[in-house]
Chains A and B, each alone.
Chain A
Amino acid sequence: MEEMPIKMEHLLHELSVLSLAGGHGEAAGFSLTNYTFWLIAAVILVLAFFIAGSRNVKLVPSGIGNLAEAGVDFVRNSVCIDVIGPEGKKYFPFLGTIFFFILINNLLGNIPPALPGTGTVGTTFTWAIIVFLVYNGIGIKKLGFFKYIKSLVPSGTPWWLAWLLFLIELISHMLRPFTLGIRLFANMYAGHVMLGVFAAFAAIFIEHLSPASIAVVPLSVIMQIALRVFELMVAVLQAYIFTILTAVYIGGALEAGSH
């Protein structure tokens, strides 16, 4: 068991941001990292899938066109229209990009030895910041800058309360990109840590065969399988949550003026 800390350190090192050109963290400079390598693979997959899918749409759907349509239909109806309303259709390209990017990254990360492109804050914060800029941009475009800022506080609030409310609202808005980014990152990262832990258990108990191995090894393998299935669910769920929250933020920005 004394190997466990070493294995854990090794695992966490593998899951940290590593430059493919060598070096660690910021020192990596402008070279691809282990995460961005798989991220680019996922982006290529998304593009290939949708370009192939969009060339294959027929009135009677079939094959890859059908799959692409099902995905598009899901995001457009269950996210855009259900959350934002009929005008949500307009924001489908943005929300669809987010959803399919995150979904394919999450799923790809589930196939060893790939890592999820979304398993690093470099990705999740960037996308969360893009969401923050876009939804506020939508609100500002609709109401104008000052009116949009004013709309953070419900009209008719007494001035001494208005300031307090404004501050709370401002903080809550500022926190949104962090919560969005951390939620996705933590889910993907933690999933891989869990998988790594059980893999390490199995490895150690196979290397040092002991009576305990009889119980621990099969259990670890079963946990691996169960966690893989669980991770598939998490992959889809997190993509959905990120997208639906984005839709909620956009819907909120659009509704801001109507109070």
Chain B
Amino acid sequence: MELIIPNTTEMWVNIVAFLILFVVLAKFAFPPITKMLDERADKIRESLEKAEDTRVEAERLLEEYKVQMAEARAEATQVIEQGRKVAESMKAEILAKAREEAEAEKVKAIEAIKAEKSAAMAEIKGEVADLSVAVAGKILGSSLTKADHAALIDKYLAEVGSLNEN
């Protein structure tokens, strides 16, 4: 029975021990430790949140870049397409112009040839007329009237013309 009857000295020692332990631990030892535990927990939570935010941001940026990339690619394709169209239309234009010019050149050349030809014809006509009058005068030995001349000229001309046409 003596075993479970507390010794008063021991009780006093324990009361003092409790008071000293409680005061020192609660005032000086525990606060830095619990503070650090809380701080660390906060820090870890913050870091995790930050990491999550960063991840979300990174994903958003990636998405944005993807969209931009696609846009840029589409734009590039469009630019190339446009360039080709411009080049094609330019080509067509140049060709058309060249053709037109060539045509104009040709027409002008034909005109010139025609003019040359008629001039030559007119000259030949004069020459033939004079020649025929002179020939006729020599053959006949007589002078012809103006009306005879004209009739003769026309006749020769017609002959020459038909020759020319062949």
Contacts and interface: CB of A to CB of B under 8 A. Distances in A.
Interface of A: 16-17, 19, 25-26, 28-33, 35-36, 39-40, 43, 46-47, 50-51, 53-55, 57-59, 61, 65, 68-69, 72-73, 76, 89, 92-94, 96-97, 100-101, 120-123, 125-127, 130, 182, 185, 189
21 contacts: A16-B2, A16-B3, A25-B2, A33-B9, A35-B10, A36-B13, A36-B14, A50-B25, A51-B24, A54-B29, A54-B33, A55-B32, A76-B37, A93-B26, A97-B22, A97-B26, A100-B25, A120-B7, A121-B3, A122-B7, A122-B9
Given A39-B17, A72-B37, A127-B18, A54 B28 contact: yes
Interface string B81-121: 00000000000000000000000000000000000000000
Q: Across the A-B interface, give the 3 residue pairs with the lowest CB-CB distance, nearest first.
A: A122-B10, A93-B26, A50-B29
B17 A121 contact: no
Nearest to B5: A121
B17 A31 contact: no
B127 to A, nearest CB: 124
Interface of chain B, main secondary structure: helix
B50 interface: no
B139 interface: no
A96 B17 CA distance: 14
A51 B14 contact: no
Contacts of A100: 25
Given A59-B43, A101-B18, A126-B15, A96 B3 contact: no
A120 B21 contact: no
Given A16-B3, A40-B17, A69 B9 contact: no
B36 A36 contact: no
A67 to B, nearest CB: 11
B37 A43 contact: no
Nearest to A49: B29
B13 A32 contact: yes
Contacts, number: 132
Nearest to B27: A93
Given A39-B13, A54-B29, A46 B8 contact: no
Given A50-B29, A93-B22, A93-B30, A28 B14 contact: no
Contact of B33 (A17, A31, A57, A182): A57
B40 interface: yes
Contacts of A58: 36
A33 B18 contact: no
Contacts of B163: none
B20 interface: yes
B6 interface: yes
A171 B33 CA distance: 39
Given A50-B33, A92-B30, A100-B25, 6 more contacts: A30-B9, A30-B12, A47-B24, A120-B10, A122-B8, A126-B14
Nearest to B35: A57
Nearest to A27: B7
B11 A125 contact: yes
B28 A122 contact: no
A76 B37 CA distance: 10
A120 B13 CA distance: 12
A241 to B, nearest CB: 18
B2 A39 contact: no
Contact of A96 (B28, B30, B36): B30
A112 to B, nearest CB: 21
Contacts of A65: 33
